[in-house]
């Protein structure tokens, strides 16, 4: 009922001869301001007094008719009930006050029609009850701006009231008592939804799809997040998912020459705000299927911002794609590792020594963590196709190193297609403080890339698959809690892959690593990495690393168990007979000598026989096979794939334990 329109002063202060005078008069100005402030509060009194006019008319026309009394009783009841229903979105006190006012007005018209508006006690009740109600509305109008200072009392029919209607207009999936603290911006509307009837944020999140469908909104327009201060008052945001329908061009560095402690602006949220990723003090996991632009959008976007900062050193490890990923960025990188032996040395020798030296110096200088202007370089180590890296390093050492690195002023980021337990130990996932999940193949895969809170908030990266490169969810340092389930899109380096490579390479050339000097301890580490770089081979071909593994099977091909009909020579020469009796094979402690392929297959056969009852199992259930045989995971994965192709095992990627032993039915 109150007006928010500012009134311009009718007077003007004018300096004449050093004296300030007022044109128009101070008294008239004060009277005008007082009238403006008082005007909204006269409305209830004017409406109450105005009821006398229809009351006189009704009494003159139908005062003696019993049908008029009956009709007014019915119409008054309808008006009162309608007021109660349409005010359901308001606070309970406002709802009661509105409904009570409608009931009192209807009752007065009925009494005045029968007795006349000036008869006693009708006029007495009108003066007393009407005056009380008008005063109550004055109190409400006076207090409301004070308890609601952020402009939530939005005009009827405006964006705010339409936002409230989403949750109150005929939706019965959750009980909504009120919608408050509504804020309208050019790209989003946000408000607090007060739930009743014991409903929770989870209930509201599950109802959002139905609300979107009822009001014809694009899928994903509404997001709801938990209010940690009040479980019954989640925050809901309405934004336009079509804002991210098309790629968003890279806007350029956000803070060139400043510290990496300042968030890296790398993506745009669905509500139009930017995603500022905080890299200092956290490890990061990036996940997404092939084609989701984990490298060209997410990785290159983060690298592109990182290398513009003055106090960060970026080292990239990619033993799978090698120069394909690293080459465009090489001028801006402080180090790149593309060979397996160098990767093993990096994680088992060079980084542990770097961390130990840094921690010792931090202790001497009283630093408990890296901070801006501390005199040391922040080190970010990025692992592309991390499943392959994890396959060739000692994971216990990596876990210990992850703990040390963060304290020593560094961080890991690992990027892979699916972060399940076959690709990385569960404890490693626990070391990561942040998660970014791009498009994935299925809802089952999404569970490996999202936090529990994101899943509860109905984040669905499987909706994009590889059709929207750069789309992602993030629950990491720098993401407000009300946006962890809001889609974002990482900036795009160009309309085509050729353009992306050229533009990213040009950007990295503008920010060479040589222009960002590092501290002496980090310089020693980088010298080791540079010294491990293999010499170029004539013709541009690179020599293959000498590996001590039996089989060279990468995590990339292993991710979704792509068919691989090529078996090793021993497997091909000794096909498995499912009907052959199992022989007892002595167990060999972990770390002992490796078995021959024939003996190892018998150990695997004996273990699989334990699942002949049809129970599902996963790779983790076969850890005893590796411990007994001394062989590696690639060998086991290859054996399982061979049995799938032979029809001995059933495989369902949607299950957490995806394997089952097929029971062969006897011939009829």
On whether residue 536 sits in a domain, the answer given is no
Tell whether 215 and 320 lie within a shared domain. no
Tell whether 141 and 166 lie within a shared domain. no
Tell whether 204 and 120 lie within a shared domain. no
Triad 342, 345, 348: Cα angle to 5°: 150
**Residue 9 carries which DSSP code?**
P
Instruction: Determine phi and psi for 437, rounding to 5 degrees.
Output: -125, 115
What integer pLDDT is reported at residue 537 of this predicted model?
A: 36
On whether residue 7 sits in a domain, the answer given is no
Tell whether 515 and 577 lie within a shared domain. no
Whether a cis peptide bond, with omega within 30° of 0, leads into 82 is no
Tell whether 284 and 432 lie within a shared domain. yes
Tell whether 199 and 272 lie within a shared domain. no
Element (H, E) at 213: helix 201-214
Tell whether 483 and 608 lie within a shared domain. no
Domain count for the chain: 4
On whether residue 331 sits in a domain, the answer given is yes
Triad 516, 521, 525: Cα angle to 5°: 80
What integer pLDDT is reported at residue 419 of this predicted model?
A: 83
Among 95, 123, 147, identify where a domain stops: 147
Report d(CA 136, CA 131) in Å as an integer: 9
Among 224, 239, 254, identify where a domain stops: 239
What integer pLDDT is reported at residue 555 of this predicted model?
A: 42
What integer pLDDT is reported at residue 392 of this predicted model?
A: 85
Among 223, 239, 255, identify where a domain stops: 239
Tell whether 210 and 141 lie within a shared domain. no
Note down the domain range covering 581.
561-661
Tell whether 133 and 167 lie within a shared domain. no
The residues with which 178 forms a beta bridge, in sequence order, are: 194
pTM of the model: 0.58
Tell whether 113 and 193 lie within a shared domain. no
Listed in sequence order, the DSSP H helices in 460-596 are 497-510, 520-531, 555-558, 569-573
Residues of the chain scoring pLDDT < 70: 1-41, 48, 50, 55, 60, 63-66, 68-69, 72, 84-94, 110, 112, 134, 137, 140-158, 170, 422, 425-432, 532-593, 663-668
Sign of the torsion angle spanned by Cα atoms 35, 38, 40, 41: negative
3-state secondary structure 248-260: CECCCCCCCCCCC
């Amino acid at each position: 009922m109150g007006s928010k329109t500012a009134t311009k002063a009718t007077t003007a202060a004018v300096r004449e001869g050093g004296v300030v005078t007022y044109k128009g008069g101070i008294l008239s100005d004060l009277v005008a301001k007082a009238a403006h402030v008082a005007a909204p509060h006269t409305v209830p009194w004017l409406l109450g007094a105005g009821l006398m006019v229809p009351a006189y008319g009704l009494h003159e026309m139908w005062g003696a008719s019993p049908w008029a009394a009956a009709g007014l009783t019915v119409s008054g009841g309808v008006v009162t009930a309608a007021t109660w229903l349409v005010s359901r979105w308001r606070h309970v006190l406002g709802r009661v006050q509105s409904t009570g006012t409608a009931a009192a007005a209807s009752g007065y018209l009925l009494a005045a029609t029968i007795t006349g508006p000036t008869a006693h006690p009708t006029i007495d009740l009108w003066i007393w009850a009407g005056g009380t109600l008008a005063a109550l509305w004055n109190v409400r109008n006076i207090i409301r701006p004070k308890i609601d200072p952020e402009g939530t009392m939005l005009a009827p029919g405006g964006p705010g009231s339409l936002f409230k209607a989403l949750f109150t207009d005929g939706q019965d999936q959750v009980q909504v008592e009120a919608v408050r603290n509504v804020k309208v911006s050019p790209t989003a509307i946000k408000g607090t939804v007060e739930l009743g009837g014991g409903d929770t944020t989870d209930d509201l999140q599950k109802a959002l799809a139905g609300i979107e469908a009822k009001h014809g909104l694009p899928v994903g327009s509404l997001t709801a997040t938990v209010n940690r201060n009040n479980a019954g008052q989640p925050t809901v945001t309405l934004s336009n998912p079509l804002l991210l329908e098309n790629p968003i061009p890279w806007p350029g560095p956000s803070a060139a020459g400043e510290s990496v402690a300042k968030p890296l602006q790398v993506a745009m949220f669905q509500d139009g705000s930017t995603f500022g990723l905080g890299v200092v003090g956290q490890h990061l996991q990036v996940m997404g299927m092939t084609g989701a632009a984990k490298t060209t959008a997410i990785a290159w976007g983060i690298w592109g911002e990182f290398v513009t900062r003055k106090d960060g050193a970026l080292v990239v490890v990619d033993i799978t794609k090698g120069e394909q990923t690293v080459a465009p960025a090489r001028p801006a990188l402080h180090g790149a590792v593309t060979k397996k032996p160098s990767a093993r040395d990096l994680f088992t020798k060079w980084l542990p020594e770097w961390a130990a030296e840094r921690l010792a110096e931090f202790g001497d200088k009283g630093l408990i963590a890296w901070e801006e202007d501390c005199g040391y370089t922040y080190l970010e180590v990025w692992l592309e196709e991390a499943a392959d890296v994890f396959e060739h390093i000692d994971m216990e050492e990596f876990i210990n190193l992850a703990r040390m690195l963060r304290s020593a002023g560094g961080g890991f980021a690992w990027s892979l297609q699916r972060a399940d337990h076959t690709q990385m130990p569960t404890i490693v996932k626990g070391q990561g403080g942040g998660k970014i999940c791009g498009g994935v193949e299925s809802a089952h895969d999404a569970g490996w890339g999202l936090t529990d809170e994101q899943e509860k908030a109905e984040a669905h990266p499987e909706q994009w698959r590889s059709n929207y490169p750069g789309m992602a969810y993030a629950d990491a340092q720098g993401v407000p809690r009300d946006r962890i389930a809001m889609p974002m899109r990482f900036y795009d380096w160009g309309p085509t892959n050729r353009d992306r490579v050229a533009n990213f390479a040009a950007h990295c050339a503008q920010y060479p690593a040589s222009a960002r000097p590092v501290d002496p301890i980090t310089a020693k580490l980088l010298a080791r990495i540079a010294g491990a770089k293999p010499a170029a081979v004539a013709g541009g071909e690179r020599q293959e690393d000498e590996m001590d593994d039996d089989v060279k099977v990468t995590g990339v091909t292993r991710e979704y168990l792509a068919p691989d009909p090529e078996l090793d020579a021993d497997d091909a020469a000794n096909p498995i007979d499912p009907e052959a009796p199992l022989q007892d094979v002595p167990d060999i402690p972990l770390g002992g000598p490796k078995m021959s392929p024939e003996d190892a297959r018998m150990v695997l056969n004996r273990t699989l026989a334990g699942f002949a009852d049809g129970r599902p199992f996963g790779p983790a259930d076969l850890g005893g096979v590796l411990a007994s045989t001394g062989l590696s995971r690639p060998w086991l994965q290859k054996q399982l794939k061979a049995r799938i192709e032979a029809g001995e095992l059933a495989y369902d990627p949607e299950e957490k334990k995806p394997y089952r032993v097929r029971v062969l039915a006897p011939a009829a």
